Structure 1
Amino acid sequence: MITKDILKNKEYNFLNINKHLGKNVILLGLSGSYAYGTNNENSDIDIRGITLNRKSDLIGMTSFEQYVDDNTDTCIYGFNKMINLLLNCNPNTIELLGLNEENYLYLNDIGRELINNKKMFLSKRAVHSFYGYASSQLRRLQNALARDSYPKEEKEKHIFNSVKNALYDFSKRYENFEEGSLKVYIDNSEIYLDANLRHYPLRDYKNIWAEMNNIVRDYDKIGKRNKKKDDNHLNKHAMHLIRLFMMAIDILEKEEISTYRAKEKELLLDIRNGKFQKEDGNFNEDFYVLLNDFEERLSYAAKHTNLKEEPDIDRVEEFVMSVNERVVKDEI
């Protein structure tokens, strides 16, 4: 079991040394397999966290978004950036608000305040964000299993769906990006793009184009198969695919963020350990029946959820102003 004592190890000294961290950190928690309850002896320790923006970031000339330490697989988000990610129900960050209590390695009063108010971030945006991530995981599986044998028409459909999900995300992340400004569609088994952008920031366009380029590039990669290594990755992708559906359904049906999958732990570990994989590397029928069941459940939950279309922006804004005002007044 990973405990708070891990932060005393010298490789985590950056937490006390870096000027953006230290007393500004409000939350640190386990991420990845340890957070989901699906860890094994080979699992890495991933830590995610949140640190307050400093006074100079808020009313001065500095800025801060996140700190990454590759040596310890640690990523700590600036408070303001994290809020925007949470508003979009980003699966990789919203899960930080639903950890088991023992998986929080550090939590101060403001961190606790954030967790106690987590429901203000929940909305139907979760349908697109989680389904987008799940679709990406599924297409990774499909692409890896039959990359060389896919007909062009089938491959184009997969790329198209990935780009389409990305376009929805762009409309949320880029302030001046209006949905429909870029239209992607398939014509005669080829993907086409219509662009209608005027007076648009060049750097934002560069980022959008780079993300779409990465999607196409990833699908065009063809490499030799290392069966043992690839099977481990495939089973891990399959497990996370099902886990994403589980979390999304909880959010939509119960308005709860349940990161640790206690009830489904055995099933998820069975998937990770290859019990649904056939000798040839493909997945058996039981896995696809399971997948279809979760897709139908998510579709039903999306149609019948009591969540609103958008998160409680006014409540979130009040909370953010309250926290940042305390920073500016040196009350923290």
Structure 2
Amino acid sequence: MTIQHLKTNNLILFEAISGSRAFGLATENSDTDIRGVYYLPKEEFYGLNYIPQISNETNDITYYEMGRFVELLQKNNPNILEMLASPEDSILQKHPLMDMLKAEDFLSKLCKDTFAGYAVSQIKKAKGLNKKILNPIEKERKSVLDFCVILEGAGSVSLKKWLSENGKMQEKCGLVNIGNTKGMYALFYDKSDVLGYKGIIQQQEANQVSLSSIPKGEHSAAYLFCNLDAYSTYCKDYKDYWKWVSERNEDRYNVNQEHGQNYDSKNMMHTIRLLQSCEHIFKTGSMQIRVTNRDELLDIKSGNQSYESLLQKAEDLVKSIEHYHAVSVLPDTPDLAKTMEILVEIRERLYS
């Protein structure tokens, strides 16, 4: 099933412009996101072809089946609540039956977890991005060898430096465990190239050192320490960093580089907006989609505020949300029975 199929067969119940344009935060470069609700024909709903969601290739146009839509409303999903509460000038079409669903019937104290909880996760994401921007990882991947050192007196020297300065090759080295230690090895060297030592690693991608059989009478050339925990952490960071590089939005990344604040300013703008929206819910018991502080939020998007000041703003909003949540008269959860009755009635009318 496609979006065109929904439109051709008049299955769309609700359609609205969402995102920045609905919030009143659009600029000349803003995309136009569309969100909507559809219903499945009776035969498909009762059959084995239930389709909960349909999107285009770029996911900037998404429609939710009525049942899935109500399910997400019951969970106080921020995007879905905001879609239901869309400003009149953002609504493109609306079936009269959609008037039976009102955002106020779904608002509950769950919003603290869904709105503020999601915002806090975005702050953590921003911190991770901040770390990636400030600490780029070289494309050339390090090996276990880079996490090995040779003990010298009361100190140590990197393995690669020790090999270079002593004219040795890692392939001619042999390691044996030192009992009752972690990561410590005695290192032997095969000058004759006949003892068949396995080397410190046998291939560049090895995730641990190799151990060799050492003939009796051989004397160790040095003691080696390998920090495999640090290597494991590096491998994870390397994978995460280069996955981020391959998937990042280059236009947004370049904007972030230009303003020099080392955070995703668009992400932080929406994070602050989401926290302010959550605060409004618990203050008033209602939703406000169109922002009243456009200039402040666009100033954040432009990167004109420091990363630290935004984190402080977010922390202050979280504290305010905690306060208003504690005194709010909103129910702990939506009235599931009532909203389910509404869903059933809508379907009965659609299928009658």
TM range (shorter): 0.5 to 0.7
Q: CA deviation at 1:284?
A: 4.5
Kept in 1: contact 2:6–2:12 (CA 8 A): no
Q: Return the match for 2:312 from 272, 289, 305.
A: 289
Question: Could you tell me which residue of structure 1 aligns to residue 11 of structure 2?
Answer: 24
The structure with more radius of gyration: 2
Q: TM-score, normalised by structure 2?
A: 0.62
Matched, 1:39 2:62: no
Q: CA deviation at 1:71?
A: 5.5
Q: Return the match for 2:62 from 69, 75, 80.
A: 75
Kept in 1: contact 2:100–2:342 (CA 8 A): no
Amino acid paired to 1:96 = M
Structure 1 segment 108-119 matched on structure 2, within 5 A: 108-114=95-101, 117-119=102-104
Question: After superposition, what is the alpha-carbon deviation per residue over 1:264-290, rounded to whole angstroms, capped at 9, x for unaligned?
Answer: 21111111111104xxxxx253x3332
Q: CA deviation at 1:72?
A: 7.6
Question: After superposition, what is the alpha-carbon deviation per residue over 1:143-202, rounded to whole angstroms, capped at 9, x for unaligned?
Answer: 11124879xxxxxxxxxxxxxxxxxxxxxxxxxxxxxxxxxxxxxxxxxxxxxxxxxxxx
Matched, 1:142 2:127: yes
Matched, 1:228 2:254: yes
Kept in 2: contact 1:27–1:108 (CA 8 A): yes
Question: Could you tell me which residue of structure 2 aligns to residue 97 of structure 1?
Answer: 84
Question: Could you tell me which residue of structure 2 aligns to residue 318 of structure 1?
Answer: 341
Question: Could you tell me which residue of structure 2 aligns to residue 123 of structure 1?
Answer: 108
Q: TM-score, normalised by structure 1?
A: 0.66
**RMSD across aligned positions (CA):** 2.7
Distance in 2 separating the partners of 1:245 and 1:21: 39
Q: CA deviation at 1:118?
A: 2.2
Q: CA deviation at 1:81?
A: 0.4
Distance 1:71 1:293, change over 3 A: closer
Amino acid paired to 2:127 = Q
Question: Could you tell me which residue of structure 1 aligns to residue 180 of structure 2?
Answer: none
Distance in 1 separating the partners of 2:239 and 2:271: 18
Distance in 2 separating the partners of 1:126 and 1:219: 34
Distance in 2 separating the partners of 1:289 and 1:46: 30
Q: CA deviation at 1:142?
A: 0.7
Question: After superposition, what is the alpha-carbon deviation per residue over 1:227-286, rounded to whole angstroms, capped at 9, x for unaligned?
Answer: 62445871101101101111111222212121211x121111111111104xxxxx253x
Distance 1:54 1:104, change over 3 A: same
Distance 1:304 1:57, change over 3 A: farther
Q: CA deviation at 1:111?
A: 2.2
User: Hey, which of these two has a bigger chunk of helix by percent?
Assistant: 1
Question: Could you tell me which residue of structure 2 aligns to residue 58 of structure 1?
Answer: 45
Distance in 1 separating the partners of 2:238 and 2:271: 18
Distance in 1 separating the partners of 2:94 and 2:238: 38
Distance in 2 separating the partners of 1:143 and 1:254: 34
Distance 1:274 1:219, change over 3 A: farther
In the alignment of these two chains, the number of paired residues is: 241
Q: CA deviation at 1:327?
A: 2.4
Question: Could you tell me which residue of structure 1 aligns to residue 283 of structure 2?
Answer: 253
Distance in 2 separating the partners of 1:94 and 1:73: 17
Kept in 2: contact 1:122–1:307 (CA 8 A): yes
Structure 1: runs of 5+ lacking an equivalent:
1-13, 151-215, 278-282
Q: CA deviation at 1:100?
A: 1.4
> Aligned to 1:106, what secondary structure does the other structure show?
strand
> Aligned to 2:129, what secondary structure does the other structure show?
helix
Matched, 1:270 2:293: no
Question: Could you tell me which residue of structure 2 aligns to residue 304 of structure 1?
Answer: 327
Distance in 1 separating the partners of 2:22 and 2:99: 18
Distance in 1 separating the partners of 2:313 and 2:103: 30
Distance in 1 separating the partners of 2:237 and 2:47: 40
Structure 1 segment 196-211 matched on structure 2, within 5 A: none
Distance 1:141 1:61, change over 3 A: closer
Q: Percent identity?
A: 24
Distance 1:90 1:41, change over 3 A: same
> Aligned to 1:61, what secondary structure does the other structure show?
coil
Structure 2: runs of 5+ lacking an equivalent:
136-235
